[in-house]
Amino acid sequence: MISGFSKLSKVEKIDYLVENYFSGSKRVKSEIKAFWHDNPDSQRIFDEFSENTITNFYCPYGVVPNFLLNDKIHMVPMVIEESSVVAALSKAAKFWTSRGGFRAQVIDTEKLGQVHFMWKGETAKLQKFFDENYENILAHVTPLTKNMEKRGGGLKSMSLVDMTEHEDNYYQIKASFETCDAMGANFINSVLESIGSFLRENIPACDFFSDEEKDVQVVMCILSNYTPNCLVKAWVECGIEELYEPSHEMSAQEFVDKFTRAVRIAQIDVHRATTHNKGIFNGIDGVILATGNDFRAVEACGHTHAARDGQYRSLTKTHVYDGKFRFEIEIPMALGTVGGLTALHPLAKMSLDMLNNPSAKELMMITASVGLAQNFAAIRSLVTSGIQKGHMKMHLMNILNQLEATDNEKEIVRKEFEHKVVSFKAVRDLLESVRALQ
């Protein structure tokens, strides 16, 4: 155990870790420092993002070119370490560019928060208090909301929710917000805490409550990451015959039949749905990380939405009608393009510049469309050549690096597996045979 670790300097933290967990290894110490930013001012920004930071953890930053969305070409930034994701997205983007591209629209941008509190008494009396004090609550939070209101946002509505059938004496004030181009977490939480303080101050002072009813316990005031009405829809559509590709080795109709069946399976089977949706988030998370948004919040929201009817299901759907094929996603996501890391992280700022500084709504449409594109690419591989053919070819370089192959050895192995299925064992065996001849 160590006391006061957080008070140590960064160098002192590293010295302690190296001495106690890496046997004093100078190599580990140099590796930790090797990932520091060359510019001390830039490194200070990264150090202050979190606590007890000792270095930076790098992930690949790539781009997807030629992404046609709503008749506009985008260069989409992606931060992801998984092999083949960016390649698959690029291929899907190119495929749909000649078929009208992706379309998207934002359905709504409502975000939610809750004040959870305990109160013992007649629900009708609490409802009366809430109704009579509705405007007073709005006035109470005005110092926090006035700047957001100037931008067109703010606290939009509140309702009292009786939860006593689930938990004795449990109530909520459920509030909806518009946060414009900000994700708005800090804004929402501050407003909710102010509503909580209003309850603590004014319920005990209310004349029509009995002494017992004047006791209120605010349990917590917090936004919800499930925002079912902060919703975006994206889709692609074309004639069935336009989906024909010689490399599929099947007719366009057979491809559509297999593709739609694969999506239906993800609607029916929770095990497949989980992997299906994970593939969608391969695309979504890459954009969210690149733009400095909260991928954990978006994932939690998306997975909740996938289970909204009681069973976890696919987030995408297919429709086949009048000789046409349509593939779509409808997903809630709360994103921001101002504030937070978007203003501090230099690569997040660069990503937004690359996307021509989109509004939050525009970023929602881009992100949802990338998730749809990634899902299309994955399903297309699954129902045609199989997922491993392309994935393992992209993973080949990781295998070669893991086996410490030289540049010459990499070239020999790449040529050998140009038309073969890649596996770790096959690559290792070939590399051993190449080395035996040297």
Cite the residue boundaries of each domain of the chain with CATH code 3.30.70.420.
111-224
* Closest of 236, 354, 235 to residue 291, by C-alpha: 354
Determine which of 32-41, 46-55, 395-404 has the lowest per-residue pLDDT on average: 395-404
| Per-residue pLDDT, 387 | 60
The reported pLDDT for the residue numbered 388 is: 60
Q: How many CB atoms lie within 10 A of CB 386?
A: 12
pLDDT band at 168 (very low <50, low <70, confident <90, very high): very high
d(CA 374, CA 284): 9
Picking from 253, 274, 278, the residue whose alpha carbon sits closest to that of residue 265 is 274
**pLDDT over 70, % of the chain:** 97
Task: Categorise residue 221: left if φ over 0, alpha if ψ from -120 to 50, beta otherwise.
Answer: beta
| Intervals of CATH 3.90.770.10 along the chain | 62-108+228-385
Give per-residue pLDDT as tens, 253-263.
Answer: 999 999 999 99
Q: Could you tell me the CA-to-CA distances from 267 to 229, 264, 270 in Å, in that order?
A: 22, 5, 8
Task: For the chain, give the mean pLDDT.
Answer: 93
Which amino acid makes up residue 115? Answer: V
Of the candidate ranges 162-176, 232-246, 278-292, 412-426, the one whose mean pLDDT is the lowest: 412-426
Give 311's DSSP letter.
S
Highest mean pLDDT among 134-138, 210-214, 421-425: 134-138
User: Over 60: is that where the pLDDT of 393 sits?
Assistant: no
Q: Mean pLDDT over residues 101-125, rounded?
A: 97
The answer to whether 301 touches 277, Cβ cutoff 8 Å, is no
What class is the 111-224 domain?
Answer: alpha beta
The per-residue pLDDT for 150 is: 96
Encoded tokens for 396: 């080949």
pLDDT tens digits for range 373-389: 999 999 999 999 766 65
- DSSP per-residue string spanning 130-173: HHHTHHHHHHHHHHHHHHHHHTT-EEEEEEEEE-TTTSTTEEEE
Going by pLDDT thresholds of 50, 70 and 90, the confidence category of residue 391 is: low
pLDDT of 335: 96
The DSSP result for 45-87, as a single string, is HHHTTSSS--S-----EEEEEEEEETTEEEEEEEE--STTHHH
pLDDT 10s digits, 308-359: 999 999 999 999 999 999 999 999 999 999 987 887 899 999 999 999 999 9
Sole residue written with tokens 């603590």: 200
Angle at 33 between CA 32 and CA 35, to 5 degrees: 80
Section 52-78 average pLDDT: 96
Alpha-carbon distances of 277 from 364, 376, 394, rounded to whole Å: 17, 11, 21
Mapping DSSP onto H, E and C, the string for 312-341 reads CCCCEEEEEECCEEEEEEEEECCCCCECCH
From residue 417, how far is each of 91, 311, 394, 424 by CA, in Å? 21, 42, 11, 12
Token pair for 195: 């509503």
- Predicted pLDDT at 395: 67
Residue with the two structure tokens 């319920």: 203
pLDDT of the residue at 284: 98
Choose which CATH entry (3.30.1540.20, 3.90.1150.10, 3.40.50.1370, 3.90.770.10) describes domain 62-108+228-385: 3.90.770.10
Give SS3 for 188: helix
Residue 21 structure tokens: 């967990």
DSSP string, 352-421: HHHTTS--HHHHHHHHHHHHHHHHHHHHHHHHTT-HHHHHHHHHHHHHHHHTT--HHHHHHHHHHTTTS-
pTM strictly above 0.85 = yes
